[in-house]
Structure 1
Amino acid sequence: MLEKGMPMLQFYVEKVNDLKHLKALKKAIVDLLPEFIAGCLILWINRYIKWESIDQAGLLLCQLYPLFLIAAYGYHYAQDAQCSVVEIITYDISFMLLFSYLGNVSLLEGCLSILFFTFILNSFLHVSSKVPSIKGVLPQGAGDYLHKIVLLCLNFIIMAVIIYCGVSIYPMLLMLINGIYFAINSIYGILIVVLITVFFWSTGMHGVAFISTLLRPFWLQMLMLNMSNLLGNQSPLYIGTEPFYQWHVWIGGSGTTLGLVILMRCFSKSNHLRALGKAAIKSGWVNINEQIIFGTPIVMNKVMMIPFFLTPCLCAIVSYIWIFPHSLLYPSFLSPWVFPFLLGGFISSGGTLKILILLIVLFIISIIVYLPFFIYYDKQLKKSEETGGAACIMQE
């Protein structure tokens, strides 16, 4: 039943990933991440230098982020839809600025709402571009020029209608988006995200790639609001940003597998796991664990799938309980995902020493949870190696 269901599930996942607007937005976020990470590292260093001009530049970065995002999105959408890149970017930036001005909407707080209406605008612009040109009535040059003017007028009318309707329903859409923030910021929402991610990994699909397509716009928006508040000497609002998962849940990669790598490297008696631990130790410290997921294997492995699900859930719960009462510990800065977890978590929290204690506790939890399953699986593999058998341990 599972084997029959997986191709169908993968089909729908691919369908979601191929949606033009979501794919363009995902590419835009990925393109902008290095610049945002570099900016966050500078702002983090400035937490110790305390140069006010740097913080002011950081606040400006937060305010301009929606414009950067919509320009990058427009570029990728235009390429995918085979439209004029310059025209789409111009329309999208003009739309965002006009919507913000006429609706008295903050660019930062209203970023996702305006993006939603931009999706609608670009869909209509794509349709309007198919309007046939006037042929045979005027010379070609004059006909093309007139057709361009007619299209511009039509597109500005479409833009005006969408702005009018959008401003009217913006409060309701904002309530909906705030509800999504509340849901994915709660411990229940965080656990659902964790379970969905490890479920996809356990079936052989890239769990983070799928879930980030849907949630990364919300995660990044929540992070920018956190950073803006922190730089403005206010309390951050959200725990469930992407750095929370990266540094408090996915220690060593999805499934919190760094503890398992240490067990394999130091205590394995089977040749297979010991060799795998030696090979994966370097990549595990920089949060790359495909070797472990597919080499152990954890995929479709009834023994190792249990801690693969359990460990990140426990780490998420412990982290949430630890961080929730202290808003200054909320993840508010991006740091490179290839950093070791102690450094990455320390930076994302703004450089708070208390977070290091939590990260060490989480690492110990990952070792303890994986330990009994590792011992059992290692013994089974060792026995199989000694007898020269080819028993499929993962299906026992």
Structure 2
Amino acid sequence: MSSKGSMKDKVMKVIGKISNSRHMIALRDGIAQAVPLIVIGSVFMIIGQFPIQGYLKFMAHTFGPHWNVVIQQITYASFDLMGLIAVIGISYNLTKSYGDVAPLPAALVAMCGFFLTIPFSMHKDGTFWIPLAQLGSTGLFIAIIIGLFLTDFYVWMVHKKITIKMPASVPPAVSDSFTALFPGFFCLLLVWVIRMGVSFTPIETIPNLMQYIFKPLSIVGTSLPGALICEFLVSFLWLFGIHGANVVSGVMTAIWLAAMQQNAVAFAAHKALPNIVTQQFFDNFVHIGGSGATLGLAIMMIMFAKSDEYKTLAKLEIAPAFFNINEPLVFGFPVVMNPFIAVPFIVAPLLNVLITYFAMASGIVAKTIGIMVPWTTPAIISGYLATGHISGAVLQAVLIAVDSLVYVYFFKKADKRKVQAQMENAKKAETQA
């Protein structure tokens, strides 16, 4: 094996280990716990901010001028709690992965640690005020750090037997509670010490510290070069059988969700939307058909396949492709370890990034309004919902056409090879008969 091939294998092995590590899996699965509630909150945001003036006037006339504030209380109780939900989900999944530590007490300790990072305000009557924004996407970075590192510290103390051991006759729920006592105490003490230490600096609060640390990453992550780099990595890793979207989203999801919520806040306040690159930018405009923008490939297969193999695969894949599920295509075509199809698999989504970015930056197409449209929503529908404007649906139609054109040459060449192989196999079968 050449040194070049050996180096490539080593790099891919390292990336594979990282993407399949317990911490990356816990991060991905933990944030995924927030998705259903984000979608629910987005539905009520749509109801309260549906971008048709006639509808808004009718609702205001029927239910009063503040009707949408009442409707969006569900949004505040779901969408705006994604950080809180994420820290519980990450901690729970990470603890569960160890197999010998009760996950629920650890998740509750992580939740308390997360609350402890938030700067409370005291009213004159002695009550505390918690800024809701810190429980949402604004606090997502802190939620990730607490969910991963504080949970590891908790598990380490349990493994080191820094616990209160109860008799076997004690019910598990009670026993787990006492097991969490000392680890929970030291975890919260650690967060409190960090909080107090930061309070004596000009930065003052942990949220301010996180903004200072991650500001460069957030700027890059929501820029055009950052979007292109991220998308290239998604496609490139998939070519080696590594779920590129999971690897990249493990790092970037917090940034894109925060950008999404900034747009949601601006949209609700009828202000200019600040961000182009959001979670919906990728889910609904770049990954049309899934990673690699493979809906275009699926359509070309349906239209032009001549080989029996691709005709059959096209019939199996076209329906999932419309719902952005492309694993049957990625592994059945295959795209993995196929240098010939690698070119359009990388180029198509990069073109989607460029076309979408400039279309939104120029104002030709509306930006995403911060509504969490499920990634399985079919194109055209998702484009309208994500932008609140028909221009989003039109853009998706254009992107599908572009992706199809990118794939058509490469698919026809691959299909021609399959037809030739099919004919050769038929001749061999006749000869043997």
- TM class by shorter-chain length? 0.7 to 0.9
- Measured in 2, the distance between the counterparts of 1:373 and 1:359 equals 22
For residue 310 of structure 1, the aligned residue among 328, 343, 347 is: 347
- 1:310-389 alignment, distance < 5 Å: 310-326=347-363, 328-330=366-368, 332-349=370-387, 351-388=388-425
Q: Secondary structure at the match of 1:339?
A: coil
Q: Secondary structure at the match of 2:245?
A: helix
- The C-alpha deviation readout for 1:312-344, integer Å capped at 9, x for no partner, is 111110000001244952251212222211112
User: Would the alpha carbon gap of residues 121 and 149 (structure 1) be closer, same or farther in structure 2, given more than 3 Å must change?
Assistant: closer
- Measured in 1, the distance between the counterparts of 2:181 and 2:36 equals 39
How many percent of aligned residue pairs carry the same amino acid? 23
- Measured in 1, the distance between the counterparts of 2:394 and 2:333 equals 30
Greater mean alpha carbon deviation, residues 365-374 or residues 50-59: 50-59
Q: Shift of residue 270 of structure 1?
A: 2.6
For residue 257 of structure 2, the aligned residue among 216, 220, 228 is: 220
Aligned equivalent of 1:394 = none
- Measured in 2, the distance between the counterparts of 1:298 and 1:56 equals 45
User: Would the alpha carbon gap of residues 166 and 11 (structure 1) be closer, same or farther in structure 2, given more than 3 Å must change?
Assistant: farther
Aligned equivalent of 1:33 = 35
- Measured in 2, the distance between the counterparts of 1:329 and 1:66 equals 24
Aligned equivalent of 1:98 = 116
Q: Secondary structure at the match of 2:289?
A: coil
The one-letter amino acid of 2:112's match is S
Gap regions ≥5 residues in structure 1: 136-140, 391-396
Gap regions ≥5 residues in structure 2: 57-66, 122-129, 171-176, 428-433
Contact 1:264–1:273 (8 Å) recurs in 2: yes
- The C-alpha deviation readout for 1:284-335, integer Å capped at 9, x for no partner, is 1111222222222222333221111111111110000001244952251212
Report the TM-score when normalising by structure 2.
Answer: 0.77
Q: Shift of residue 210 of structure 1?
A: 1.9
The one-letter amino acid of 2:109's match is Y
For residue 249 of structure 1, the aligned residue among 276, 283, 286 is: 286
Q: Shift of residue 362 of structure 1?
A: 0.5
Report the TM-score when normalising by structure 1.
Answer: 0.83
- 1:1-396 alignment, distance < 5 Å: 1=2, 4-5=6-7, 7-48=9-50, 50=56, 51-52=67-68, 53-81=70-98, 82-101=100-119, 106-107=133-134, 108=136, 109-113=138-142, 115-117=144-146, 119-129=148-158, 130=160, 154-167=186-199, 168=201, 170=206, 171-326=208-363, 328-330=366-368, 332-349=370-387, 351-388=388-425
Q: Shift of residue 234 of structure 1?
A: 3.2
- Measured in 2, the distance between the counterparts of 1:134 and 1:268 equals 66
Contact 2:301–2:310 (8 Å) recurs in 1: yes
- Measured in 1, the distance between the counterparts of 2:74 and 2:402 equals 39
Contact 1:239–1:324 (8 Å) recurs in 2: yes
- Measured in 2, the distance between the counterparts of 1:118 and 1:387 equals 57
User: Would the alpha carbon gap of residues 388 and 126 (structure 1) be closer, same or farther in structure 2, given more than 3 Å must change?
Assistant: closer
The one-letter amino acid of 1:112's match is F
CA RMSD of aligned residues (A): 3.3
Greater mean alpha carbon deviation, residues 108-117 or residues 220-229: 108-117
